[in-house]
Amino acid sequence: MERNIVKVGLMGFGTVGTGVVRIVQGHQEDLYKQTGLGIEIHKILVQDKEKPRSISGMEDRMTLDPQELIGDPEIDVIVEVIGGIHPAKEYILAALENRKHVVTANKDLMALHGAEILQKAQVKGCDVFYEASVAGGIPILRALVEGFASDRITKMMGIVNGTTNYILTKMSEEGADYAEVLKEAQALGYAEADPTSDVEGYDAARKMAILATLGFRVPMRLEDVEVKGISGVSKEDIAYGKKLGYVVKLIGLAQRDGDAIEVSVQPTMVHKSHPLASVNGVFNAVYVHGEAVGETMFYGPGAGELPTATAVVSDLVTVVKNMKLGVNGRGMVAPYREKVLKEDQDKLSRYFLRMIVADKRGVLAQITHLLADNNISLVQVLQQPYNGGQQAEIIMVTHQAAKRNMDEMLETLAGMDVIHEIKSCYRVEGEEE
């Protein structure tokens, strides 16, 4: 039935939900000009009707019952910003069953159950959009699906977690310890009381699974992503990286060589000349390489009420435009390529390695001989006294090497008497050899 107003059921009235209401109410004329239809927040699912809100006048639209949104025939679109897996998954599937279009900002849900949700949407002829689930206000998902539709993406590399980027930026700027900066980030609200999801890389891993699925058209799962967080990064690592021309960033990497794919999240030494090296604070950036277009980069705020809400409302506008044209459910491309994951011998990278060794003649020669045995060669070497001259500290940057060779070499190093401690090992990106 033709309507002049599209009615929206909003699930969640927290930070992002509030931002969605602000934008929809404040941009009515612009939204109408873009879509030819009015957009109205018809009902809002909340947990507590009595909770003080920064927006007034919405009290009569709030409900505690999700069925008032899912079962309301007047509601055309469900916007889900409550987060978490359950009950969000059940709400979204029920909404699709009732042929309601869905916009969500839920990265956890889409990383774990996106394939099931998109399949249901396809069957029901509904739209499901989730731009806000990755990199906040940066329109990266739309760019992957639409902007690169005629290209083949070979590499996506990015800073997709603002909390960790803030922590690493402060450590770099102030020479501070990880624990000290984490406390500061928590006090400022940049990090949660339990920061595990952010600092151990799980949040970024979910986003990289989504990016890889869309960019490579493969059914990527969260368990396919190799994950290492930043809790082990020391101020010494950062200082030595600077000496050699690198900045430490938590980098999400999705790379395709031929048909084989690798996806990882890990602290990485990024050369100061690379565009990602200058992305600081809570900002996000995603670098995309296409076979035809070459290098592109998307940069902007990765979180916050209005940046994330802007991405949600942009998706909402797309749904409404599709309704006007009668093409809902036709724009989604489900993953259609077979997933082939790289073996460790095919994962190639340069590496930064820092270790404490016995300060005696011939140690460096033993190490370089071991490197050669594992087909690993060096670009840079730095050696200096450690512990008052009792030991030596060696920092190395390698040429490109296979992960399997590097792992085997590290295992051998750890068993050598002259190697007292392997302090750190990081991938290296940027600066062509």
Which active-site residues does the annotation give?
207
Largest CA distance in the chain: 85
Q: Alpha-carbon dihedral of residues 167, 112, 7, 138, nearest 10 degrees?
A: 40
Give, in order, the Cα–Cα distances in Å from 343 to each of 67, 152, 213, 228, 404.
47, 22, 19, 18, 9
SS3 label, residue 426:
strand
Give, in order, the Cα–Cα distances in Å from 294 to each of 42, 89, 273, 289, 291.
44, 37, 17, 5, 6
Separation of alpha carbons 183 and 190, rounded Å: 10
Separation of alpha carbons 11 and 81, rounded Å: 6
Give, in order, the Cα–Cα distances in Å from 148 to each of 137, 144, 294, 339.
19, 5, 11, 20
CB-count burial class (<10 Å; 0-12, 13-18, 19+) for 292? exposed
For strand 260-271 and strand 419-429, is the pairing parallel, antiparallel, or unpaired?
A: parallel
110 DSSP 8-state letter: H
Element (DSSP H or E) covering residue 54: none
Q: Is 431 left (phi over 0), alpha (psi -120 to 50) or beta?
A: left
151 DSSP 8-state letter: S
